[in-house]
């Protein structure tokens, strides 16, 4: 079942950016999903994503769409060329932003607003049942925030950070040019990964954490206030090249918290890694 409503406003602004015409639109949609495994997929380009868990069986969207352009003619082009697809197939709800700079492989080849004459931004506010599995991605000009969820997650931000609070699931969170912070209400029970190329990685777990912690950083340090013991060195990875075996290290070193358990990996190339005890 789908419910939706739409509001629209248009304004002419005198900004210094060269994008002098602005149009705002609010999109609201609700999807009702059965009690089986629920899944939310958001593939955004420009804008923020905020997902919060709440009781019930609905996935509720409030989306702020902002178009800025050099002229009203370019606003019309933006409406035609940048599309938001909101759809449901069985227990999967999908939000996909399509644009001329989307590549077939899902990548982005964006030449900037000066080339296109406009910018289109989508900011997502979404309420989900707490156990919903999450696949979230954005590229520019927005943070990704997740709170009060317990499902698996796969989250990626290219030019912004990721913040997760009161989560109880496991999965992957990676920000290319931003900070990653995860605060757990329950310790993860399965393998997880947290990483950033140019940002700090911070994870706060509950007392009694039992896991194998693997770290990798090139220009940073690793800190933890959990009692840990060293793990044996990891065996090198082998691959066959031109009839020969080549061995190389994956660069991670490991420690064990508690009695060990799921493998939790942390990778911050140009930042510090903090694995800390969360507040009770």
pLDDT of residue 111: 61
- Is pTM beyond 0.85? Reply is yes
Walk along the chain (280 residues) and give the pLDDT tens digit of each residue: 455 555 544 444 434 455 688 999 999 999 999 877 899 999 999 999 999 999 999 999 999 999 999 888 989 988 999 999 999 999 999 999 998 888 766 667 666 656 678 899 999 999 999 999 999 999 999 999 999 999 999 999 999 999 999 999 999 999 999 999 999 999 999 999 999 999 999 999 999 999 999 999 999 999 999 999 998 876 666 676 776 655 555 678 999 999 999 999 999 999 999 999 987 5
Phi-psi region of 212 (alpha: psi -120 to 50; beta: other; left: phi over 0): beta
Q: Three-class SS of residue 156?
A: strand
**Integer Rg of the chain from CA:** 21
- Contact between 206 and 188 (Cβ < 8 Å): no
Interacting residues of 29 by C-beta distance below 8 A, sequence separation 6+: 2, 3, 4, 60, 61, 63, 86
At residue 13, the pLDDT reads 45
């Amino acid at each position: 079942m789908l419910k939706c409503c739409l509001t629209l406003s248009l304004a002419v602004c005198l900004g210094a950016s060269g994008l002098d015409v602005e149009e705002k639109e609010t999109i609201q949609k609700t999807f009702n999903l059965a009690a089986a495994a629920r899944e939310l997929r958001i593939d955004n380009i420009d804008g923020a994503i905020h997902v919060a868990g709440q009781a019930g069986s609905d996935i509720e969207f409030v989306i702020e769409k902002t178009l800025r352009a050099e002229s009203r003619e370019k606003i019309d082009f933006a409406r035609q060329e940048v599309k938001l697809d909101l759809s449901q197939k069985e227990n999967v709800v999908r939000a996909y932003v399509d644009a001329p700079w989307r590549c077939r492989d899902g990548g982005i080849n964006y030449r900037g607003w000066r080339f296109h004459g406009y910018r289109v931004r989508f900011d997502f506010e979404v309420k989900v049942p707490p156990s919903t599995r999450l696949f979230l991605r954005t590229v520019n000009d927005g943070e990704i925030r997740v709170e009060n969820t317990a499902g698996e997650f796969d989250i990626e931000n290219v030019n912004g950070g990721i913040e997760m609070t009161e989560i109880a699931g496991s999965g992957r969170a990676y920000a290319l040019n931003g900070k990653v912070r995860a605060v757990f209400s329950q310790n993860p029970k399965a393998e997880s990964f947290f990483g950033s190329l140019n940002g700090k990685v911070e994870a706060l777990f509950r007392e009694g954490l039992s896991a194998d912690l693997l770290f990798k950083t090139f220009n940073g340090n690793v800190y933890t206030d959990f009692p840990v013991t060293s793990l044996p060195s990891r065996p090198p990875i082998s691959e066959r090249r031109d009839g020969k075996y080549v061995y190389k290290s994956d660069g991670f070193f490991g420690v064990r918290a508690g009695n060990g358990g799921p493998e939790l990996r942390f990778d911050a190339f140009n930042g510090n890694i903090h694995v800390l005890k969360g507040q009770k």
